[in-house]
Amino acid sequence: MAHATVEWTDNLEGRFDLPGLLSLIAAEMRERSGGVFPVGGIRVRAIRLHDYVIADGAGADDAFINIDIKMGVGRDAAFKQAFFTQMFDAVKAHLGDLFDRQPLALSLYVEESEGWKHNSIHKRLGAKA
């Protein structure tokens, strides 16, 4: 299980490649985790935010992108540090000069969670092998 939710402020509309960002995060989980995240358990989604206050509320162009990652327990600290640092750097590179074009705060938070789930996507992926 590795789920990512990207929250972004609506004043960023058209200013960055959102589908590309979602694809980048999914690819990082699939291809750079060394198989730590089962492919069938990866979910990446975005939520456009219309109602928010940033900082002192006076900067109409102030914006943020927040990425919340939820994953099952059990990954060691060294993996988490290396993997999520690399992912954060890839996201920053993807956003390019957006930080120069608009006041922008970027954050990434990781939460380990025990949960209940039922998923037949693993079965479909296994049939490909």
Q: pLDDT tens for residues 37-61?
A: 989 999 999 999 999 999 999 999 9
Residue 11 in tokens: 């004043």
Going along the chain from its start, the domains and CATH numbers come out as 2-128 (3.30.429.10)
What parts of the chain have a pLDDT lower than 50? none
pTM (2 decimals)?
0.88
Residue 37 in tokens: 């995240």
